[in-house]
Amino acid sequence: MSSTKYTEYDAYAAEEAASGTAGGETQGRIFDVGGADWDQVVAGAEEADDERLVVNMGPQHPSTHGVLRLILTLDGETINEVRLVIGYLHTGIEKNMEFRTWTQGTTFCTRMDYLAPLFNEAAYCLSVERLLGIEDQIPERAQIIRVMMMELNRISSHLVAIATFGLELGATTVMLNGFIEREYTLDLFEEITGLRMNHAYIRPGGVAQDLPSGATSKIRDYLDRMPKRIQQLRKLLDANPVFLARTKDVAYLDLTGCMALGVTGPVLRSTGLPWDLRKSQPYCGYETYDFEVPTQDTCDVYGRYLVRMAEMEESLKIIEQCLDRLQTVKGPVMIEDKKIGWPAQLAMGADGLGNSPRHIAHIMGTSMEALIHHFKLVTEGFRVPAGQAYVPIESPRGELAAHVVSDGGTRPFRAHFRDPSFVNLQAVPAMSEGGMVADIIAAVASLDPVMGGVDR
Amino acid sequence: MSSEHPEQRAEQAADQLPAQTEEERREQPVVRRGMFGAKTTGDTSGYGGLVVRQTPKVSTPRPYGGPRGAAEPGEFDEIADELERAYPDYGDAIERVVVDRGELTFYVKRQHLREVARTMRDDPSLRFELCSGVSGVHYPADEGAELHSVAHLLSITHNRRVRLEATCPDADPHIPSLVPVYPTSDWHERETYDFFGIVYDGHPALTRIEMPDDWVGHPQRKDYPLGGIPVEYRGAEIPPPDERRSYV
């Protein structure tokens, strides 16, 4: 890039210069250790704080949630300064999305925040739908399924947050219990979408396919079991003296700090502000569901834990309402507009992959034009009118939004994700500088960052 | 080019594109040539010679309306009115206002960006206390304003959102930093610098954040290749994504 001319390093030049001047006059400034100010230097070094220790924590460290690197300047056990280094998991997802069709974009963005894949998909698809101007045409059943899947995902994500939280503070029992419950949630995802993670289930225009038969009864079983299991987790942690000592009044961040640093999600709600986009700027029909926004006013790690626990219980309520609605609301799960909607009435094949027998019979047997159209829709994709859209949703970690720009083509011109983990991580120095080194683990854990989302 | 057809008329009105004479239209820059992406093989459709011209800078006239539509004055007009009242240089600072898909965008001249943001944050009737983020978009065709810096502001007090967009040319990629107003834009601006090369003046430590420190180039610019290697699968060779056929 730069036009600076580099001269080759000449190993002999210094030697020749040295022999040339040997015996002769020494040129240039002379440095020796006999100067008058040497005593001052020594005295200055003695005065300086030699307890200062720079510790490099990460990027490979079990309690940094992936590849987060913290550079700590310690004075004994006290943290004087924290610097965060990210970028170890940068995969260029946003750039890659510019080279795929709008529908293929879901396959990429689902991999960003890998604990909340359905939220990434939802934020992206809602943005694309706003660009297409089809927000009102999404079938009701698709919206209900989206809400249900997102709430299941919120539970699984919060379970990991609390499980790793426990692990990082030394409680292996909490970790095992949390991960067991998460596994049940992932089983449901596998049943419904075919994959435990990275589903690409929510698509522009609706969802990839309807719920398989038997899924609702499995979700009912899940709803029966979960309240007891959450209660068990609460018994382990809520009043646990060790847990309280590690979390109460630790990593304090009040409302002013949250506003300045752009922190959202459970961290913001632990300061007492009931700001939840599901209530304040509803999407996918959240305004029609009955649920509370749990808050705490302690501004500390314990408050954030309590908010997450209460949110899981609220999510269970929403899922129950979704199931009730799904019993009565039937119909398509993909937009009727044939220019956008992919076939979504899929049957399960012998190898587990779904296809739509009726659609195949139609395009292969009766209509040449339908075959051409299907081919164009899948390979070329649909065009999206030029413009930009920014749709925020409430992910388990805070405001997740996709800023999507179209130039009128079949691919995103630019897709940027405002990932809550990325923003919330900026609050770590504010939360932990001046505190004890052990508390930074609790501080990072209470933010629940996912590096896949941070680095994208 | 004003159409007699009611549907087309409605479409034009919806796009906020004023009807133009053919001479005016021919002076507009070309936004797209051809169709269906056929550039190498024989295109027998005739659409290959299609030339689409468009005004690059769309500007919405008043009333701006609100998120639900622009039929009558709404909260977007309130925001614009309050900003006009609170910021004396409004006429000079705001290049144009675009209301599209229920979202309000102020195109702010870059030298005014920080003060406009400060007014947006501090004025009680505006009170956009939270900055959701800053990101960049690279429009190589937008001559003299290739790089756009986009900030999304959120007012929790009034439950509103607004977008501030500032542009800078490739030759002089400088935009004032929003960090003094919104500390949260620290990492966002580092990321935008990293990916687009926009230099945010006044940023406390503008260094790369995602790419390695010694990386050359800014990867999300349109002139930066995606990279990738051809992959062989069952005897056929599949080119990397940015060399495949495109339909743009």
Size of interface A-B (CB pairs under 8 A): 115
Of A92, A99, A414, the CB nearest to B219: A92
CB pair distance less than 8 Å for A262 and B103? no
CB pair distance less than 8 Å for B133 and A408? no
CB pair distance less than 8 Å for B102 and A130? yes
Per-residue pLDDT band at A53 (split at 50, 70, 90): confident
Which of B156, B185, B210 should one mutate to test binding to chain A, selecting the residue with the greatest count of A CBs within 10 A?
B210
pLDDT at A315: 94
In CATH, the architecture of B58-248 is 2-Layer Sandwich (3.30)
Instruction: Find out whether B216 and B194 touch, Cβ atoms under 8 Å.
Output: no
Q: How many CA atoms within 13 Å lie on the side-chain side of A261?
A: 25
**Best CA proximity match to A302, nearest among A181, A178, A442:** A442
- Lowest mean pLDDT: which of A78-82, A248-252, A340-344, A390-394? A340-344
Residue A103 CA to residue A412 CA, distance in Å, equals 10
pLDDT at A428: 92
Residue A248 CA to residue A305 CA, distance in Å, equals 10
CB pair distance less than 8 Å for B211 and A410? no
pLDDT at B213: 87
Of B188, B217, B241, the CB nearest to A100: B241
Instruction: Find out whether B1 and B20 touch, Cβ atoms under 8 Å.
Output: yes
**Best CA proximity match to A199, nearest among A118, A86, A317:** A118
Residue type, A325: R
| pLDDT tens digit sequence for A365-384 | 888 888 888 888 888 888 88
Of A87, A405, A413, the CB nearest to B210: A87
CB pair distance less than 8 Å for B184 and A261? yes
- E strands of chain B, at which residues? 30-33, 51-53, 94-100, 103-108, 130-138, 147-155, 160-168, 174-176, 199-201, 231-233, 236-238
Domain extents in chain B:
1-31+48-55, 58-248
Give residue for tokens 């900026």: A426
* A133 has a chain B CB within 8 A of its CB: yes
Of B31, B131, B248, the CB nearest to A410: B248
- Nearest C-alpha of chain A: how many angstroms from B71? 17
**Each residue's pLDDT tens digit in chain B (248 positions)?**
445 665 555 555 545 445 556 776 677 666 666 655 555 555 556 666 666 666 566 787 778 888 877 677 888 888 888 888 888 888 888 888 888 888 899 999 999 999 999 999 999 988 999 999 899 999 888 888 889 999 999 999 999 999 999 999 999 999 999 999 999 999 999 999 999 999 999 999 899 999 988 888 899 998 888 888 889 988 898 888 888 777 65
Of A262, A387, A408, the CB nearest to B132: A262
Q: Is A50 helix (H, G, I), strand (E, B) or coil?
A: coil
Angle between helices A215-237 and A301-328 (to 10 degrees): 160
Q: Which residues of B touch A95 (CB under 8 A)?
A: 219-220, 226
Give residue for tokens 């509803």: A282
Q: Which residues of B touch A409 (CB under 8 A)?
A: 247-248
Instruction: ipTM value, please give it.
Output: 0.80
Which of A4, A84, A395, A423 should one mutate to test binding to chain B, selecting the residue with the greatest count of B CBs within 10 A?
A423
Instruction: Find out whether A270 and A295 touch, Cβ atoms under 8 Å.
Output: yes
Copy the structure tokens of residue B212: 């390695």
Higher pLDDT, A268 or A23: A268
Which of A95, A379, A426 should one mutate to test binding to chain B, selecting the residue with the greatest count of B CBs within 10 A?
A95
- Lowest mean pLDDT: which of A30-44, A88-102, A231-245, B84-98? A30-44
Q: Which residues of B touch A414 (CB under 8 A)?
A: 137-138, 220
pLDDT at B41: 55
Kindly report the backbone phi and psi dihedral angles of residue A198, in degrees, each rounded to the nearest multiple of 5, phi listed first. 50, 60
Mean pLDDT, residues A390-410:
91
Q: Which residues of B touch A99 (CB under 8 A)?
A: 226, 241-242, 244
Which of B99, B130, B207 should one mutate to test binding to chain A, selecting the residue with the greatest count of A CBs within 10 A?
B130
Name the helix (H) or strand (E) containing A355. Answer: strand A354-355
Domains of chain A, first to last? 62-340+382-455 (1.10.645.10), 344-381 (no CATH)
- Lowest mean pLDDT: which of A323-337, A383-397, B11-25? B11-25
Which of A83, A96, A259 should one mutate to test binding to chain B, selecting the residue with the greatest count of B CBs within 10 A?
A259
Q: How many CA atoms within 13 Å lie on the side-chain side of B127?
A: 7
* A86 has a chain B CB within 8 A of its CB: yes
Q: Please state whether the peptide bond connecting residue B63 to the residue before it is cis, i.e. omega within 30 degrees of 0.
A: yes
pLDDT at B42: 54
pLDDT at A390: 93
**Best CA proximity match to B51, nearest among B30, B24, B25:** B30
Q: Is the predicted pLDDT of residue A102 greater than 50, yes or no? A: yes
pLDDT at A2: 46
* A274 has a chain B CB within 8 A of its CB: no
pLDDT at A322: 93
Chain A residue with CA closest to B160: the answer is A281
Of B150, B184, B209, the CB nearest to A262: B184
| pLDDT tens digit sequence for A417-445 | 999 999 999 999 999 988 888 888 889 98
pLDDT at A22: 45
DSSP letter, residue A34: T
Residues 358-417 of A with CB under 8 A from B: 380-381, 387-390, 392, 399, 401, 403, 405, 407-411, 413-414, 416
Q: Is the predicted pLDDT of residue A394 greater than 50, yes or no? A: yes
Chain A residue with CA closest to B134: the answer is A418
- Contacts with B17 (C-beta within 8 Å, 6 or more apart), sequence order: B54, B55, B58
Copy the structure tokens of residue A426: 């900026």
Alpha helical stretches, state H, chain B? 6-15, 22-27, 75-86, 90-93, 113-122, 185-196
Residue A255 CA, distance from chain mean position = 22
CB pair distance less than 8 Å for B101 and A133? yes
Instruction: Find out whether A419 and A453 touch, Cβ atoms under 8 Å.
Output: yes
CB pair distance less than 8 Å for B103 and A273? no
Residue B20 CA, distance from chain mean position = 24
